[in-house]
Structure 1
Amino acid sequence: MLGFLCKIAEDSEDAITAGFLSTAAFCSSVADLYDFRPLDARHGRVLLLTPWSSEGALVVWDPVDNDALQVPLPDLRRYTYCWTAAILCAAGSTCDHLDCHRGPFLVVYVGSGGSGSGEAFVCTYSSDAGTWSEPISTELPLDIVVLMPSVLGGNALYFGFLLRKSLLKYDLESHELSVIGVPQTFCIWRHVVLDGGLALATLQECKLCLWRKAGPEVDAGWTQYRAIELETLLPADAFFTWANVVGFADGADVVFLRAGLMLLTIDLKTYEVKKVCSGKNIYSAIPYMSFCTPAPGAACTDEGSTVCASGA
């Protein structure tokens, strides 16, 4: 994990800025991200929403090379009440994703209908074709939802409905959509992928509780399989403020936890806790996972530029 993007609420959640914070010895010529909306990051790329036009556009950004490519939003946006998007390597399971950030990619747009439509829509942009696919849709149990960033598990992307007790699964091979229910007891939760399977992370009292699906079927139930006591792991002042899970790093098994104006990471393998940011009202963290091998003699200049080569 070379760093993460965060959504920072300035005065309220209506005033959002983006930030890129490094968590490793990583040189990056980071552009001004003010007013950009970070949507997703995967396989060495970051997906942002531009702030400078009424219609909006997506930007696919490579922080290692500092290259950016603009992608138009699909016409489908006018029919959706709220939406988000995910980015991933186009090669799928045939790629080891160690150094594919310069290759072809896919952008998956997911929107939910408003005004009583009760539907979810998905379409896919291919960098090879340079066009969006025809949309597919499925019925939702409720309309008007807020979509969380996606997680990738196997050959499927999962999108969470923040205010509704359900997940949306998009199968990248069959291009099918399905809705997965979430336990009603949860108030705040994040969907994650652990041990190759779909799971949920939520805070209950002073514990980080992890739940997994009882089976691969869409209607299979959930069982709690792990509970991590946080009282001895977190800083003492973390328990004097409201805390919740705000992000997850695929493949690294790292959970982002916000406690007041502190942003913490918890390694689910070692239980190591790190404070990665403070003094910012961060309500969503999107990790940037990639490889950066500096070229011989590479260094950051005073202006923040860098000479870096991507590799495994």
Structure 2
Amino acid sequence: MDPPNSIPPDRFSMPSDAPWPFRYRLLGCRHGLVLASAQNLKQLRVWDPVTGVQHGLAVPPGFDTDGISIIGAVLRVVGDQFQVLLAHSVKKQQHTQAFACIYSSETGLWSDLISTPLPSEEDSTSSSFSMYFTSMPAVLVGDSLYWKLTGVSNVILEFDLDRQSLAVIHLPVELALCKPWDFTVMPAEGGGLGLIFKSDLTTQLWKMNTDCDGVASWVLGRTIELGKILSLNSKEVRKIQIRGVAEYSNVVFLSTVEGLLMLHLESLQFKKFSEPSMMSCYHPFETIYAAGI
């Protein structure tokens, strides 16, 4: 935010006395909390940058502990209580499964592992097919968390927090083979699960609808002409990549030929940042705090 509401950057630097190895990986930010994994240790960290409070967690048994293939999310429950969700995939021969479990700070325990099959080589005409998690953070919609998975085909992994179950959601046919940075999951306009997809010259907003028989299907909503809004030519628009969304602010982060850009999808107002767009993805930090703190 602009002054006087801006927060000094050093407030978002890990304290120097924190037990971090040289490298660590950001997994997600939500409800004013940050979740990261130490790549060389079997450790997770939950950090509140506003208060400075940190919590160390051991990675649960049965997880790939190299810190690279793990994805995760953090949620604040009530007061200082929080939940951490971890997921990863395991490939055996031609079959791949996603595994997940959830930690509760109230009990100090991890749940049992939950699994679901993922699309495999048998579901693809390509012999090089593989399914992998991207570094994009999870999106919370209702009582479920969603990650995008990419490969020769693109799908969405859903974790239902109430049922503690995993499921795979297939994308619209038009998006199934698109490039990883041309789409991502986000809350739909009016509520529910949605997608944002950048084609060659436009950006499309999709929403999942459920009919009276309980059958879910994707419906195309608004189409945004980025070239006109950003004053870019067709060649420049084609180079735009989606780098993240701020789910509560209805904002999408885009890398462009002019650098990183933040676009508000409702007003279509945008803000350019002076820093170059060098990251593979961005984790927006959104929180609410009392004035004067």
**In structure 2, distance between residues paired with 1:179 and 1:43:** 25
Q: Which residue of 2 aligns with 1:151?
A: 139
Q: Which residue of 2 aligns with 1:192?
A: 186
Q: Which of 106, 122, 130 is residue 108 of structure 2 equivalent to?
A: 130
**In structure 1, distance between residues paired with 2:200 and 2:111:** 45
Which residue identity does 2:256 align to in structure 1? A
Q: Which residue of 1 aligns with 2:226?
A: 230
**In structure 2, distance between residues paired with 1:63 and 1:263:** 24
Which residue identity does 2:49 align to in structure 1? P
2:21 is equivalent to residue 31 of structure 1: no
Change (3 A) 1:219 1:262: farther
Change (3 A) 1:115 1:277: farther
Q: Which sits farther off after the overlay, 119-128 or 272-281? A: 272-281
How far did 1:45 drift? 0.4
Q: Which residue of 2 aligns with 1:48?
A: 36
SS at the partner of 1:119?
strand
**In structure 2, distance between residues paired with 1:139 and 1:277:** 43
Which residue identity does 1:76 align to in structure 2? G
Q: Which residue of 2 aligns with 1:82?
A: 69
Change (3 A) 1:32 1:219: same
SS at the partner of 1:232?
helix
How far did 1:240 drift? 6.7
Question: Which sections of structure 2, spanning at least 5 residues, go unmatched?
Answer: 16-21, 121-129
**In structure 2, distance between residues paired with 1:154 and 1:268:** 20
**In structure 2, distance between residues paired with 1:255 and 1:175:** 28
Q: Which sits farther off after the overlay, 133-142 or 28-37? A: 28-37
**In structure 1, distance between residues paired with 2:198 and 2:284:** 20
2:157 is equivalent to residue 161 of structure 1: no
RMSD: 2.8
Question: Which sections of structure 1, spanning at least 5 residues, go unmatched?
Answer: 4-21, 92-99, 296-308
**In structure 2, distance between residues paired with 1:183 and 1:243:** 21
**In structure 2, distance between residues paired with 1:291 and 1:128:** 22
Which residue identity does 1:231 align to in structure 2? G
Q: TM-score, normalised by structure 2?
A: 0.81
Q: Which sits farther off after the overlay, 240-249 or 64-73? A: 240-249
How far did 1:227 drift? 0.5
Q: Which residue of 2 aligns with 1:107?
A: 84
Change (3 A) 1:115 1:144: farther
Which residue identity does 1:181 align to in structure 2? H
Which residue identity does 1:229 align to in structure 2? E
**In structure 2, distance between residues paired with 1:176 and 1:190:** 21
The superposition leaves residues 35-55 of structure 1 with CA deviations (integer Å, 9 ceiling, x where unpaired) of 33111111110111224xx33
Q: Which residue of 2 aligns with 1:287?
A: 284
The superposition leaves residues 48-103 of structure 1 with CA deviations (integer Å, 9 ceiling, x where unpaired) of 1224xx33421111111222222111122139993200111224xxxxxxxx4xx1
SS at the partner of 1:29?
helix
Change (3 A) 1:35 1:139: same
2:257 is equivalent to residue 268 of structure 1: no
Which residue identity does 1:214 align to in structure 2? N
Which residue identity does 1:185 align to in structure 2? E
Change (3 A) 1:219 1:243: farther
What fraction of aligned residue pairs are identical, expressed as a percent?
28
Do 2:226 and 2:237's aligned partners in 1 also have CA atoms closer than 8 Å? no
Q: Which of 59, 77, 98 is residue 73 of structure 1 equivalent to?
A: 59
How far did 1:223 drift? 1.8
Change (3 A) 1:59 1:242: same
